[in-house]
Amino acid sequence: MSEAIIPGLPDDLAFRCLAKISHGYHGLLECVSKKWRWTIKSSDYANLKAKEGWCGNWLFACTHMGHKSQWNAYDPDANRWHPVPGFPWANYESLRGCSCICVCKRFLVVGGCYMKGNLGTNNVIMFDPFKQQWSCVSSMRTARTNFASAAINDKVYVAGGNNSDSTEGLSAAEVYDPYLDRWEDLPPMPFVLFECFSVSYGGQFHVIGKKASNFEYDTYVIFNPINQTWHIVEDLWPFSKLSREYTTVTDGGIYAILDDDIVKVTNKYMRPLGTFPAIILQGHVRPLKPFGFSLIGFKQKLYVVGGMALRYDSDARSYDVVELSTVRSFDPTKMPLEWCDVRPMPVQSSGVIGCALVE
């Protein structure tokens, strides 16, 4: 007689019980027995989780590791990080300028460029959290890097950016349907934007960008997916002050970190919520101001993930860069803000390339 998955329970019921356990605990479950390890790694296990939609909550973070990148995932329910399998293609290890988007319980890494040669790509790769595998899906029609992207109504919208053929920017926009695995062209933006980012707010595609390199964000346009039209916003305030890495949308609100302040953006106003605290390192007397981190929202909490800080060495009389693995969170609806230390990433980062959430 074969070993039962859980003694005293029918195997089909025990199988469903294991399938409902969050991914952050899988490493521990695999240590219980060979039977459990085989069960969790089986295709039947992945298929059942996909059928029932038991994806769990995944906070993906891609960080710089020298000239390579490292993907890790955080499970908020288990308060655990674990590594995500690396890309099966060697050239993707040095990808930069890409967009990280979650749609239909799948995680997409879209476009970007390679450090070697700095060439833009139109490739799109997808991570399936049920099978925990990467695969290639349909490529964008236009290669692009440092572009705007957003998930709206189960579709992915992209616009702007630049590539090796259009170094001064792109006006092209397109949309991806994950159910059909197909990209379609959208009406082009009224401007060529060299560098841009976006927020998905109110069911529309908000794009904030630059018309030229090394200038402040000077253009704000909104795309309406229903009537397929672009609208130019004349007054950029306060969106001209936002940035890709330090802006996020959660629970119907736009939040950002500007210098030392946490703000909530509402229409034409910025409402200060509190101060962005410095990092205190053991053995260093001065508080350090982090940079190169990523801000992302999950339900009612905002997470500040990774980054770097400049530390002054009084003996050498010089500054050096400290790589951070810290993760901190706070609830923007509770005043005054209360910051909590979350389990740190398993690796220190020299900057966060991208962050996204599957829930």
Half-sphere exposure of residue 207, counting CA atoms within 13 Å on the CB side? 34
- Among 2.60.120.560, 2.120.10.80, 1.10.150.130, 1.20.1260.10, name the CATH number for the domain at 85-236: 2.120.10.80
pLDDT at 181: 97
The more confidently predicted of residues 315 and 308 is 308
The DSSP code for 23 is G
pLDDT over threshold 90, residue 149: yes
CA distance 178 to 19: 25
Place of tokens 């009224």: 190
Instruction: Give CA–CA dist 40/26, Å, rounded.
Output: 7
Question: What does the pLDDT read at residue 13?
Answer: 92
- 84 pLDDT exceeds 70? yes
255, with CB counted inside 10 A (0-12, 13-18, 19+), is: buried
Q: What is the pLDDT of residues 98-107, one digit of tens each?
A: 899 999 999 9
pLDDT at 250: 84
Per-domain residue ranges of the chain: 11-50, 85-236
Q: Which of 288, 210, 287, 285 is nearest to 244 (CA)?
A: 210
Q: How confident is the model at residue 311 (pLDDT cuts 50, 70, 90)?
A: confident
User: For residue 286, which amino acid is it?
Assistant: R
Helix (H) or strand (E) holding 308: strand 308-313
Average pLDDT, the chain: 86
Average pLDDT over residues 100-116: 87
Question: Per residue in 310-333, is it b (16+ CB within 10 Å) or e — as a string?
Answer: eeeeeeeeeeeebbbbbbbbbebe
| 283, pLDDT greater than 80 | no
Give the whole-angstrom CA distance, residue 219 versus residue 196: 9
Q: What is the pLDDT of residue 147?
A: 94
Chain mean position to CA 40 = 26
1 pLDDT exceeds 60? no
Mean pLDDT value across residues 224-233: 95
Name the pLDDT band for 115 (thresholds 50, 70, 90): low
Angle, alpha carbons 105-81-260 (nearest 5°): 90
Strand, helix or coil for residue 349 = strand
60-71 pLDDT per residue, tens? 888 876 667 788
When pLDDT is averaged across residues 325-349 and rounded to a whole number, the result is: 89
- At residue 55 the predicted structure's pLDDT band, cuts being 50, 70 and 90, is confident
Which of 22, 75, 82, 19 lies closest to 47 in space, CA to CA?
Answer: 19
Buried b (16+ CB within 10 A) or exposed e, 90-103: eebebbbbbbbbbb
Whether 122 has a pLDDT exceeding 90, the answer reads yes
Sorting pLDDT into bands at 50, 70 and 90, what band is 136? Answer: very high
Q: Which residue has the higher pLDDT, 187 or 289?
A: 187
* 3-state secondary structure (DSSP) of residue 52: helix
By percentage, how much of the chain surpasses pLDDT 70?
94
pLDDT at 67: 66
What burial class does residue 86 get, using C-beta atoms within 10 Å of its C-beta: 0-12 exposed, 13-18 middle, 19+ buried? middle
pLDDT > 90 fraction of the chain, expressed in percent and rounded: 33
Higher pLDDT, 216 or 342: 342
Q: Do 67 and 17 contact (CB within 8 A), yes or no?
A: no
Residue 353 CA: distances (Å) to CA of 7, 8, 148, 150, 325:
45, 47, 15, 16, 14
- When comparing pLDDT for 270 and 285, which is higher? 270
Distance separating alpha carbons of residues 134 and 230, to the nearest angstrom: 34
Q: What is the pLDDT of residue 320?
A: 85
Residue 299: pLDDT band with limits 50, 70, 90: confident
According to the model, what pLDDT value does residue 116 have?
60
Q: Helix 43-52 and helix 34-41: axis angle, to 10°?
A: 60
> What average pLDDT does range 243-261 have in this prediction?
86
